[in-house]
Amino acid sequence: MMLVVSMRKVAIIGDNFMLPTIFEEKLIEHCEEQLEIRCLTQDWPDVPMEHGYDVPGMDGLKEYMGNADEIVDFISDSEVLVTHLAPMSRVMFEQLTTLKMIAVSRGGPVNIDTAAAKDAGVRVVNTPGRNASAVAEFTLGGILAETRMIRVGHEALRKGEWRGDLYRADTAGRELNELTVGVIGYGDIGTRVVRLLRAFGTRVLVHDPYIQLSIDDVKAGVELVSFDSLLERSDIVTIHARVTEETTQMMNAEAFERMKAGSIFINTARGPLVDYDALYDSLLSGHLAGAMLETFSVEPVPMDSPLIQLPNVTLTPHIAGASIKTVTYAAELAAIEVDRYFKGMEPLNGK
Q: What are the domain boundaries of the chain?
A: 8-130+324-342, 132-315
Please say if 240 is a catalytic residue. no
Which residues lie below 8 Å from residue 75, measured CB to CB, with a gap of 6+? Answer: 11, 13, 81, 96, 99
Quickly name the fold that domain 8-130+324-342 has.
Answer: Rossmann fold (3.40.50)
Please say if 175 is a catalytic residue. no
229-282: per-residue pLDDT in tens? 999 999 999 999 998 999 999 999 999 999 999 999 999 999 999 999 999 999
Matching CATH topology for 8-130+324-342 and 132-315? yes
Arithmetic mean of pLDDT over the chain? 95
Rg over alpha carbons for the chain, rounded to the nearest Å, is 23
Position 149 scores a pLDDT of 94
Q: Which amino acid is at 201?
A: G
Please say if 130 is a catalytic residue. no
The domain 132-315 is placed in CATH, from the list 2.60.120.10, 3.40.50.720, 3.40.50.360, 3.30.420.40, at 3.40.50.720
pTM score, whole prediction: 0.89
**DSSP per-residue codes, 221-272:** T-EE--HHHHHHH-SEEEE-----TTTTT-B-HHHHHHSPTTEEEEE-S-GG
Q: Which candidate in 270, 294, 332, 337 is catalytic?
A: 270
The arithmetic mean of pLDDT across residues 92-110, rounded, is 96
**Contact predicate 45/66, CB 8 Å:** no
